[in-house]
Chain A
């Protein structure tokens, strides 16, 4: 699986958009970009994934650059409950055997 690089930590004001970047310059053509988050002492929670088009769901938007070498997760109106570690993962999870390998992630702190 391709390696990802994320900032170690970020702050965001409550109510503002949180933009979390991820670099994945070695991504291959069949690999998807996944985002998970982990709130303290809980299991990871799936947020969103995409291949090459921008994606949006009820939680977030995912913007993938045209060359697919980087992406940005956008939480449009961050709340205190969005404080968590956010993991960007590149993988080809098409079969049941495909693993999710976590990097260090970005620790997002939403500030009142």
Chain B
């Protein structure tokens, strides 16, 4: 099946700094990728839809100026958490659409803000 990778798998950063997370589709082209956030013992929450060559579409309540998404190529989307705070500590997961009918998920990135 199709493979989606994320880098880094875990990151620790200091409060006020920015951190970038990469999501790559390794063996297929993805015009659309999705970013999720998951807090402990909760389900995945969709944050935004990343479209290659255009602006991302954010879900209600997600701050677009804080979570910057760039989808510069058909195999790479990046999520930058700007001015990170401890409440941004979470598990961030991306997925890539492989139509028809399937989406493939990355292994996730654990972000800890100290």
**Do chains A and B stick together as partners?**
yes
Chain B nearest CB from A104 CB (Å) reads 5
Determine the main DSSP class of A at the interface with B: loop
Question: Within the assembled complex, what's the spacing in Å between the Cα atoms of A100 and B97?
Answer: 10
Task: Assess whether A97 is in contact with B32, with CB atoms less than 8 Å apart.
Answer: yes
Q: Mark A37-65, 1 if CB is under 8 A from B, else 0.
A: 01001111110010000000000000000
Determine the main DSSP class of B at the interface with A: strand
Query: Which B residues are closer than 8 A to A by beta carbons?
Result: 1, 4, 6, 30-32, 34, 36, 43-46, 49, 51, 91, 93, 95, 97, 99-108, 110
Chain A residues within 8 Å of B108, by CB: 41-43
Chain A nearest CB from B16 CB (Å) reads 27
A81 interface residue per 8 A CB criterion: no
Query: If the complex has contacts A41-B91, A42-B107, are A96 and B102 also in contact, measured as CB distance less than 8 A?
Result: no
Chain A residues within 8 Å of B51, by CB: 97
Task: Assess whether B97 is in contact with A103, with CB atoms less than 8 Å apart.
Answer: no
List 16 additional A-B contacts (Cβ < 8 Å) besides A100-B46, A100-B103: A42-B107, A42-B108, A43-B4, A43-B6, A43-B105, A45-B105, A46-B1, A46-B102, A46-B104, A94-B101, A96-B30, A96-B32, A96-B97, A97-B49, A98-B99, A102-B44
